Amino acid sequence: MLIRLIFLLISLPFFAQTEYPKDYFKAPLDIKLHLSGSFGELRSNHFHTGLDFKTNQKEGLNVYAAADGYVSRIKISSYGYGKAIYVTHPNGFTTVYGHLQQGSGKIQDFIINSHYKEKAFEIELFLKPDELVVKQGEVIALSGNTGGSGGPHLHFEIRDTKSEKPINPLLFGFDALIKDTKFPVVSTLMAYPIGENAVVNTSQEPLAINYTKQADGTYMADKVLVNGAVGFGINAYDMFDFNYNKNGTYQVQSFLNGKQSFNYEFNTFAFDESRYINALLDYTRFKKTGVRIQRLFMNNPYPLSIIKSDKNSGIIVVKPNITNTYRIEVRDFNNNKVVINIPIQYSPVAAETPSKVVKTPYLLKANNDNMYKKDNMSVFVEEGTFYEDFYLNFDVKEDTLTFHDGSVAVHKNFKVSIDNSKLTEEQKKKTFIASLDGKSKRYNYTKFKDSTFTAYTKNMGKFFLIQDTVAPKVKAITISEGKWLNTQKSIDFSISDDLSGIASYNGYINGNWILFDYDYKKARITYNFDGQFLQDGRNEFKLEVIDNVGNSTIFETHFFRSTK
């Protein structure tokens, strides 16, 4: 009895939910908060790590420090969060503000000076506590649409400062600022036969299950007849009041005969486990249809901390003469909940729809190292690169290596090697391992030693060696030779490269490096006149753009501008 009591006391902190301050952080915008993205929402290769606040479809809104603190990090990137500011607070948390148009006041001055000091657009700065101190409610930036943003909005995060784990901002009281009386929606319920001989409703292929709403507001699914084992999956979303966006759900739970089978909720997780979203999803179906089915079971258990499951990892083994009841509950943060009950019964009926799995000579074991080699090409796969075992399509024909296709999720890089002893040293410098992205050729960062080219990639499909001898394209948009630019606020260029892609670009006025912002979505760079390095009258301009194998294009001209 004493041992059991000690176990319970030790276990209490593990099961208890952490308490977070509810009124410490203020809203980072001074408009009514509406979400275009929720915490944990299912995104491409990752879970969303914050809240996306709408900015009335425009840029330039004031962004405020959510609490007292200091700017601890600034990262300016063409991708991801774009222009982002991190503020560390004395209570052990850090707030993040992403997709910004620019910083504000002293912060923007610090950013501009850092760009010119490093002579680079993409920079990452780590600051000391006394360098840029901010107060709650101080304007630290203007909202924007930079980086991987699909439209103007503010990405807002709260992280544990020590662990750097993102935490759901709704746990800090932001739920009180965002009205939500709407119930989650489950749009699809899927059943998965698990095991080579498993049959569900006479099918060895995954299939949709119908369900109907009952008088008490819950849903009842059609009976599921199983020979062997079965798992379930759902496509679900949540909506907030005054909002038409389909956001992610907060919690999904499943129960088998009243006992919890599979559960996950989005309170916090680590960045390095976020790619396991591809293991949670029916990835093959997602790639074919664009529909994200969240699987409530694990064929091959993976270490995603948000998941709690029973000893069978959510898989249901159905036996004769035993009727099972399976229940799925989908809940949002405000406890609006939808319930689906699924009756499961054993049936010995044979399959009418056989499995579509094509068995090849290559069965890739996810928990083993794997090496595949033919002719002058090879692929090395380290254990843990894939989530589950699968039959692999591998072949080499006509100088092209086929390594399956994009229908299988990849967790980490695998190694592709191609040998070619016929190339000269100069040709090698312009050669890389390309893969097909639809009909387009995708660049993979490639190294060569002697006659062997090597690339590490997560892109499955067809691989081959290709040479890029064509320089990048540069097109002037708002400048022409000899033009007076007194009224212009900026100079714009479009830059592109058809094969290896842009590696770097640098602009100069009168021999001095100048700051160009890069918007990859528009393939455009912009220099905003800031008064630096300009001469009254004639000014010399130069732009150099280099691709990933060293081909370069230099654009030179001159313009006139009055500095008086």
What residues pair up with 124 in beta bridges, in sequence order? Answer: 75
**pLDDT for 1:** 38
- Least Cα distance to 234 among 217, 211, 213, 257 occurs for 211
Say which DSSP state 332 is in.
-
- Least Cα distance to 248 among 193, 314, 170, 342 occurs for 170
- Identify whether the C-beta of residue 278 lies closer than 8 Å to the C-beta of residue 385: no
- In the chain the first and final C-alpha atoms are separated, in Å, by 88
Cα 61 to Cα 31: distance, rounded to the nearest angstrom? 9
Which residues, 6 or more positions from 521, have their beta carbon under 8 angstroms from its beta carbon?
Answer: none
- Say which amino acid occupies 333: F
Say which DSSP state 359 is in.
P
Which residues, 6 or more positions from 353, have their beta carbon under 8 angstroms from its beta carbon?
Answer: 202, 203, 204, 205, 207
**pLDDT for 14:** 36
Query: Cα–Cα–Cα angle for 468, 471, 477, nearest 5°?
Result: 140
- Least Cα distance to 468 among 496, 439, 429, 440 occurs for 429
- Identify whether the C-beta of residue 260 lies closer than 8 Å to the C-beta of residue 254: yes
What residues pair up with 394 in beta bridges, in sequence order? Answer: 403
Cα 517 to Cα 490: distance, rounded to the nearest angstrom? 11
- Residue 499, CA distances (Å) to 108, 433, 445, 461, 521 in order: 35, 11, 12, 17, 17
- Residue 129, CA distances (Å) to 71, 73, 88, 98, 114 in order: 7, 10, 8, 21, 17
- DSSP letters, 496-558, are E-SSS-EEEEEEEETTEEE--EEETTTTEEEEE--STT--SEEEEEEEEEEETTS-EEEEEEE
- Identify whether the C-beta of residue 381 lies closer than 8 Å to the C-beta of residue 364: yes
- Say which amino acid occupies 81: Y
What residues pair up with 81 in beta bridges, in sequence order? Answer: none
Which uninterrupted H or E stretch holds 210? Answer: none
Cα 198 to Cα 227: distance, rounded to the nearest angstrom? 6
**pLDDT for 6:** 36
Cα 70 to Cα 364: distance, rounded to the nearest angstrom? 50
Pair of tokens at residue 432:
């890389």
- Identify whether the C-beta of residue 194 lies closer than 8 Å to the C-beta of residue 315: yes
**pLDDT for 16:** 42
Mean pLDDT by 10 residues, the chain (564 residues): 36 55 97 96 97 97 98 97 98 98 98 97 98 98 97 98 98 96 97 97 98 97 97 97 92 98 98 98 97 98 97 97 94 97 95 96 97 98 98 96 97 98 96 92 96 97 97 97 95 97 97 97 95 94 98 98 89
Query: Cα–Cα–Cα angle for 410, 415, 417, nearest 5°?
Result: 140
Say which DSSP state 276 is in.
G
Cα 318 to Cα 225: distance, rounded to the nearest angstrom? 9
Pairing mode, strands 251-256 and 259-265: antiparallel
Cα 451 to Cα 428: distance, rounded to the nearest angstrom? 8
Secondary structure of 135-200 as H, E, C letters: CCCCEEEEEECCCCCCCCEEEEEEEECCCCCEECHHHHCHHHHCCCCCCCEEEEEEEEEEEEEEEE
Is 4 exposed, middle or buried (CB count within 10 Å of its CB: 0-12, 13-18, 19+)?
A: exposed
What residues pair up with 437 in beta bridges, in sequence order? Answer: 440
What residues pair up with 545 in beta bridges, in sequence order? Answer: 505, 553
- Identify whether the C-beta of residue 382 lies closer than 8 Å to the C-beta of residue 368: no
Which pTM does this prediction carry? 0.94
Residue holding tokens 């020979």?
A: 227
Find the length of the chain.
564
Cα 493 to Cα 477: distance, rounded to the nearest angstrom? 5
Residue holding tokens 């009386």?
A: 181
What residues pair up with 21 in beta bridges, in sequence order? Answer: none
- Identify whether the C-beta of residue 462 lies closer than 8 Å to the C-beta of residue 474: no
Three-state DSSP state, 111? helix
**Count of CB atoms within 10 A of residue 404's CB?**
20
